[in-house]
Amino acid sequence: MTPEESAAQRVTAVLAERDAVQANLLELDGSFAKQVLEGAALTGRTRERWAAASAALATLWETFLAYSAVVDRVAALGTGARRPARKDLPELGELLTGGCVRLPGAPVPLARRDLASAGRPPVTLAAAVGAMRRAFTEVTEVTSAIEAVWAAVAGPLDAAAAELARVRPLAEGLGPDIQAEFRAAEDAVAAQRAAANADPLALWRPSPAPAASGAGGGGRADTAGRRPACASRSRSLPRGSPSSTGCGQQASSRIDGLAAAAAAARAARQDAVAARRDAAARISVLPPLPPEISAPPLASLGALAADGQWSRLGAELDRCEADLAAAAAGTAGVRQAAAAALDKRDELRGLLRAYKAKAARLGAAEDPDLAAKHEQAHGLLWTAPCDLAAAEAAVAAYQRAILATEGRR
C-alpha cells in the first residue's frame, strides 16, 4: 500500500467516526428526556445531576465543533479523485496524529504552566473523541436513568388514576368518609406524579457495582409503594352501594358515557386520518393509519344492567373503556406525529435560511462548496414528499461547513 493509499484509508475511517459521533449527538439532543428536562422545574438529586450533565453536554458540543473543523480539513486534503496528493501528506499526517484540536474549558493553571506555554495544549483527534465519549457517557447515564424511572412509574400511576376515575361516580352518595378517602387518593396520585416529574432520580437505585458496558450505567427504579391503595376499595364499591337502583343509575351513566366517548373517538379518528393524509403529501415517512374504532356492545351491556349483573357489567365496561382509551391514544399519536413531522420540516427550513444569512454575513454566500451544500439541503426540504432524515443531515452538513468557514476567517 502506498503512503497515499494508507492516508486515504485513515481519512475514510476518521470521516466515518465523525459521522457516528454526530448522529449520536443529534439523537441525544432530540431525546425525550433531554427535551423535557431543559424546561422542567427540577428539584433534589435530579436538579444537581442535570446541572452537571447540562454543562457536560455544552462542553461536548463545543468540543465537537472544534473536532469537526479539523475533520473537515482532513476531508479537504484526503478525499476526491486525486486525493490525497503527495505534497499534502505531511499536513494530513499532522492532522491525523498530531495535536490539532483545542478542547474547551479552563486553561492549565498558571502555577503549573511552562513559561513558553500558550495555555491548554491542543490534543489529537483520538483524544478529542475520548473526551467526547466521556462527556457523552456522563450525560446519557443521567438521561437513561431518568427515562427508566419515568417508564416505571407511569404505568402504576396511570392505572391508579384510571381506577379512581372509573369508581369516582360510584363513590357519590356513599357518605363523606368514602368521598374523603377518594379525594385523598386522588391527591396522593397527583402528588406522586408531580414528585416523579420534578425529581425522578430520587427513585433511582444504582447497581452496587458499575455496569460492565453501556452508557446508561446499572440500576433500577424503586417504585415500591408508589401506587395508592385504592384498587381493593374501589372494586368493592358496587357491592357497597346503598341499593340496586343506585347501581343501575351509575351503570346507565357509564354506558351512556361509553357511547358518547366512542362517537367522539370515531370523529377524532376521521380528523387524524385527514391530518395524516395531508402530511403524507409533504413528508415521506409517517406512522401507519390508526385502526378502525369499533362500536361498543351497548345492547349486551344494557342486558347485563337489566339483569343486575353488576360485577360482570363492571368488568365489561372496564374492558370497553380500556380498549377505547387505547384506540383514542393511538389516534392522537398519529395526529401528533403528523403535526410534529410538518413542524420539523418547517424548523429545518428556518435553520437553513438562518445559516444562509450567516454565510452571507461572512461573505461566503458564493463559495462553491457552501452553495452546493445549501442547494442539496434546499432541494430536500422543498421536495414533496420530504425525506426528513436526509434533510436534517444535509442541514447539519451545511452548518458544519459554515462553522468551518467562520473558523478559518
What is the pLDDT at residue 182? 74
Cα 202 from Cα 192, distance rounded (Å): 12
Residues 199 and 244 sit within 8 Å (Cβ to Cβ)? no
Instruction: Please tell me the predicted confidence (pLDDT) of residue 247.
Output: 62
246: pLDDT strictly greater than 60? no
For every residue of 7-67, DSSP letters joined together read: HHHHHHHHHHHHHHHHHHHHHHHT-HHHHHHHT----HHHHHHHHHHHHHHHHHHHHHHHH
pLDDT tens digits for range 217-237: 577 877 665 554 454 444 444
Cell of 260: 358518547
Q: What is the pLDDT of residue 171?
A: 60
Whole-number pLDDT of residue 224 = 64
Phi (first) and psi of residue 206, to 5 degrees = -65, 155
From CA 341, how far away is CA 221, in angstroms rounded? Answer: 32
Q: What percent of the chain has pLDDT over 70?
A: 82
pLDDT digits (tens, 9 = 90+) for 318-333: 889 888 888 888 888 8
**pLDDT per residue as tens digits for the range 24-40:** 999 988 888 888 888 78
248 pLDDT more than 70: no
Amino acid 377 reads: A
pLDDT at 245 over 90: no
Residues 6+ apart with CB under 8 A from 367: 359, 405
Query: What does DSSP assign to residue 225?
Result: T
Q: Is a pLDDT exceeding 60 seen at residue 173?
A: no
**pLDDT of amino acid 216:** 44
* Three-state SS letters, 169-188: HHHCCCCHHHHHHHHHHHHH
* Residues in Cβ contact with 210 at an 8 Å cutoff, skipping those fewer than 6 apart: 217, 218
Give me the chain's average pLDDT, please. Answer: 81
pLDDT at residue 137, rounded to an integer:
92
Chain-centroid distance of CA 146 in Å reads 12
- Greatest mean pLDDT range, 69-83, 96-110, 271-285: 271-285
Residue 251 and residue 310 in contact, taking contact as beta carbons nearer than 8 Å:
yes
More confident residue, 71 or 252: 71
- Cβ–Cβ under 8 Å, residues 231 and 185: no
Higher pLDDT, 83 or 15: 15
Res 116 pLDDT > 70 = no
- Over residues 259-263, the mean pLDDT reads 88
Residue 222: count of CB within 10 angstroms of its CB: 14
pLDDT at residue number 162: 81
